[in-house]
Amino acid sequence: MTTMEAGRRLGVSQGTILNWIKQKTLPSWSTVGGHRRIPVESVDIILKQRHEELQESSEHKTVSLLLVEDDSVLMAFYESMVKAWHLQVDLVTASNGFDALIQIGKTVPDIIITDLVMPKIDGIEMVKAIRGNPELNGTSIIAVTMLDASEIAQRGGLPIDVQVFQKPPPAKRLRAIISEKVKKLYPEGRRL
């Protein structure tokens, strides 16, 4: 299949497919004309792995949180903030959208808190790739950025279900959102 077909089938951008090919995560070959072709079996293997991971993640006992931030000082702040909440949160971090998409391929998070301006793949492109995959519709996405609404719109905008906050991160509001997600995931009243 073509890179575009593989991207559609896996719910990621064509750029992500090309990056996976470059990293030898996804096997491919070049046609005489220089076009990439990907074995259908390889795409099916990735789909099967993602399906199994989604099933496993639905059985977990904690809320999984992916923090995506390229500023190491701000990342350290986020990590200490989450620890101070004393909630049972599986915390995973990534420093850009590319690394975040790889993390999501390993384990689907319940919540993503992301910056928007980052190297490699920025937050806007990452969010659009995530929302393009129906298997990730249950993941809540929160953007915390220095960009204002008009700057976000100029960069292509975000899906309407993405909550956007201005930096610095609003700790109390973020904790409330995560607590609400816990209630949705554990309606029987599990306390974290």
Once rounded to an integer, what is the mean pLDDT over residues 8-33? 87
| CATH placement of domain 60-185 | 3.40.50.2300
Residues whose CB is less than 8 angstroms from the CB of residue 119 and which lie 6 or more positions away in sequence, other chains included: 70, 96
Average pLDDT of 11-15?
Answer: 84
Dist. CA 124–CA 1, nearest whole Å:
27
Neighbours of 42 (CB within 10 A): 16
> pLDDT above 90 covers what percent of the chain?
45
Do the domains at 1-59 and 60-185 have one common CATH topology?
no
Res 180: pLDDT: 82
pLDDT at 13: 86
Please report the pLDDT score of residue 188 as a whole number: 57
Bridge-partner residues for 91, per DSSP? 65
Average pLDDT over residues 72-80: 91
Distance CA 86, CA 146 (A): 28
Q: How far apart are CA 156 and CA 70, in angstroms?
A: 20
pLDDT at 191: 43
Torsions phi, psi of 171, nearest 5? Answer: -55, -45
The fold adopted by the segment(s) 1-59 is Multidrug-efflux Transporter Regulator; Chain: A; Domain 2 (1.10.1660)
Q: Which among 116, 119, 120 is positioned nearest to 141, based on CA atoms?
A: 116
> Is there a contact between 132 and 12 (Cβ–Cβ < 8 Å)?
yes
Q: Delimit the domains of the chain by residue range.
A: 1-59, 60-185
Q: What is the pLDDT of residue 55?
A: 62
Question: What is the arithmetic mean of pLDDT over 98-113?
Answer: 91
Out of 30-44, 45-59, 65-79, least confident range: 45-59
Average pLDDT over residues 143-165: 93
Q: What is the DSSP letter of 171?
A: H
pLDDT for res 184: 76
Q: Which two tokens stand for residue 53?
A: 């991971």
